[in-house]
Chains A and B, each alone.
Chain A
Amino acid sequence: MAGLELLSDQGYRLDGRKATELRKVQARMGVFAQADGSAYLEQGNTRALAVVYGPHEMRGSRSRTLHDRAAINCQYSMATFSTAERKRRPHGDRKSTEMSLHLKQTFEAAIMTQLYPRSQIDIYVKILQSDGGNYSVCVNAATLAVIDAGIPMRDYVCACSVGFVDETPLADLCYAEESVSSLSVALLPRGGQIALLQMDARLHQDHLEALMEAAMTACKGVSKVLDEVVRQHLQEAAVLNVCP
């Protein structure tokens, strides 16, 4: 992009971060009473709300029932006020359908679906404010919501996007950086397994390894934060249960 210096000579980015620095992640679990699990997550200026229902009996068309595992149903949406330009966002446009598909795929890999045959797990994610890394924030929020719902997972799924500017990998991109190049990775940090990998950029093959390495490190950073949030939440819940 012309005229925009994404990485200064001193090694600082537009918002003053270092190349490998993540944005501030803040999260809360159990924000809704009605849902089985819910979470709210902020990553810099991107905010997302995730709600999980299930596992429950199949609803809607029964033909989607899987006899050996649970079916996962994901829905991604963006609030009309989430971007700078107010926009009516119709359901089922290509981009949001694709995002729902990717979320579904990520959680199919992470949730131990074989424990709930013939049932369904619904994951609804809404972006309240969008400032880059929508997919990653959605995955992180949904992970917390799934944990809140008490659904067993193989590991935390942590997602992060990375970009490549001036031969340097940048972690956790904001909107301005995202338009240049972006690689999103959803990682199960303990085994270093990649549940989803997506890249939208022209990048020489030789740089791929460095970029993936950076992405995986960033994901592990996110996982630490998420772990802390979960522990914090459990402690609070335990205290509330002991002295009602």
Chain B
Amino acid sequence: MKDTPLSNCERDFILKAIEEKKRLDGRQTYDFRRIKITFGTDYGCCFVDLGKTRVMAQVSCELVAPKESRPNEGIMFFNIELSPMASPAFEQGRQSELSVKLNRQLERCLRNSKCIDTESLCVVAGEKVWQIRVDVSMLNNDGNLMDAASVAAITALCHFRRPDVGIQGDEVTVYSPEERDPIPLSIYHMPISISFSFFQQGTFLLVDPCEREERVMDGLLMIAMNKHREICSIQSSGGIMLLKEQVMRCSKIAAVKVSEITELISKALLNDRTARKAGGRCGFAESMPQERITALKTDETLMETSDVTERANDIVEKAGAPPQTVPSPLVPAPGVGQVSQGQQNTWGLQEEDEDDDDDDDEQNGKETKMETEPQEEEKGAGDVVEISDSEEEEVVILTSETSGQAKNADSSSHQKRAAASKRRPKK
């Protein structure tokens, strides 16, 4: 199944927001989403949450014959699996471009940077070495799979313990964890990949793109670094043109992010170690937030409701008039409330509303017509429309005026009406 394409409106909206230095989830341009690292019950199992992106890494090992070219080095094997569970766009079986890209980047990031001492994985030179296999499964795709996968993989490798082996003559004995304590891998440094996405031909740059942003981006730059500020791999993708300065800037940002994430990983590893030592419970089940109902009945809370009407009226009377500083809008014809004509919004509304309106304005200038329709309906019905907005606490009463009367009404009543009509469709 192919992913549902993004509509032009959505695309424009996201790009516009990025131009205004805003992001859908309220982050700043260089902010990462929240990273949460949890461990499974076994050694070498790690879950990483990056916002809503969730990946799992599992490390396993087995004794194999070494490669002929490197008889005294262990073998590292990395595999990223894009399971259809993570996103409808991922297909089972077939090697997609994305999967090749991710796999190669992970290999480059962890194998080519020689972050693991492969020589210590040799048991009998030329005959038996450990093969360490890292399987990363995508559980939920909300963008930036690479960063999540690289954090998960390196954390799982740090967490992993391989069984101890003993050699007597030609015989190799693998001890179970009960007999001898398993041994951690020796890890020299921890490379972590940081993704930067570029928009509008490289004019705008975002760190840690979410899935929506990934869909509208022009290109991606992935930089893998360790906390010693050593770059382990760089890879640009997507048809963008980069300038040298941009790359240099990205590498500086990456250095900061990597040191933060490395600290987080070591903290998570430490926490897990103390939890395990204390014999506390750990593992996947523990990492899930507990949201269970423990009782079947709730206590009733009594509420005084007899004087609600009076109190509500009281509040309404006490409430001040709407701010007088609002500039009067242009009214081309009586009874026509205008909201979006492509100009700056001048309604004295809350800031939150304003933002929405701005976007409306720019997206489709033709909206005036649609906005006025509900008002006409109101007139026809002649109802009293009460809008009790919890934020503003004002009541606007619309009487059934004819358009002739409306002419006499001052501009502020126009305002109110327009405001009412405008707010209505939002409810």
Please tell me if the beta carbons of B230 and A183 are within 8 angstroms of each other in the complex.
no
Please tell me if the beta carbons of A198 and B234 are within 8 angstroms of each other in the complex.
yes
A192 to B242, CA, bound (A): 9
A-B residue pairs in contact (CB < 8 Å), sample of 24: A94-B95, A94-B100, A101-B237, A109-B240, A183-B234, A191-B241, A192-B243, A192-B244, A193-B241, A194-B236, A196-B236, A197-B234, A197-B236, A198-B235, A198-B236, A199-B234, A200-B112, A201-B231, A201-B232, A204-B230, A205-B225, A205-B251, A208-B248, A209-B248
A231 to B247, CA, bound (A): 33
- Size class of B's contact patch? 20 to 34
A137 to B236, CA, bound (A): 19
- A-B interface, 9 closest residue pairs, ranked by CB to CB distance from nearest: A193-B241, A108-B239, A199-B234, A109-B239, A194-B242, A197-B236, A205-B229, A98-B104, A97-B100
A205's contact among B113, B231, B239, by CB below 8 Å, is which?
Answer: B231
Within A168-227, which residues are at the interface with B (CB < 8 Å)? 183, 188, 191-206, 208-209, 212-213, 216
Does any Cβ of A come within 8 Å of B379's Cβ? no
Please tell me if the beta carbons of A105 and B104 are within 8 angstroms of each other in the complex.
no
A193 to B119, CA, bound (A): 41
Please tell me if the beta carbons of A199 and B231 are within 8 angstroms of each other in the complex.
yes
A94 to B230, CA, bound (A): 26
Please tell me if the beta carbons of A197 and B255 are within 8 angstroms of each other in the complex.
no
Please tell me if the beta carbons of B244 and A98 are within 8 angstroms of each other in the complex.
no
Please tell me if the beta carbons of A105 and B234 are within 8 angstroms of each other in the complex.
no
A119 to B366, CA, bound (A): 36
Does any Cβ of B come within 8 Å of A92's Cβ? yes
Please tell me if the beta carbons of A197 and B239 are within 8 angstroms of each other in the complex.
no
Enumerate chain A residues within 8 angstroms of B239, measured Cβ to Cβ.
105, 108-109, 195
Please tell me if the beta carbons of A213 and B244 are within 8 angstroms of each other in the complex.
yes
A219 to B68, CA, bound (A): 37
Enumerate chain B residues within 8 angstroms of A197, measured Cβ to Cβ.
221, 234-236, 242, 247
A196 to B233, CA, bound (A): 13
Enumerate chain B residues within 8 angstroms of A206, measured Cβ to Cβ.
229
A208 to B233, CA, bound (A): 11
Given contacts A94-B100, A101-B97, A205-B229, contact A194 B247 (CB under 8 A): yes
Minimum CB–CB distance from A139 to chain B (whole Å) comes to: 14
A191 to B241, CA, bound (A): 10
Does any Cβ of A come within 8 Å of B133's Cβ? no
Does any Cβ of A come within 8 Å of B108's Cβ? yes
Please tell me if the beta carbons of B100 and A98 are within 8 angstroms of each other in the complex.
yes
Enumerate chain B residues within 8 angstroms of A205, measured Cβ to Cβ.
225, 229-231, 251-252, 255
A200 to B114, CA, bound (A): 11
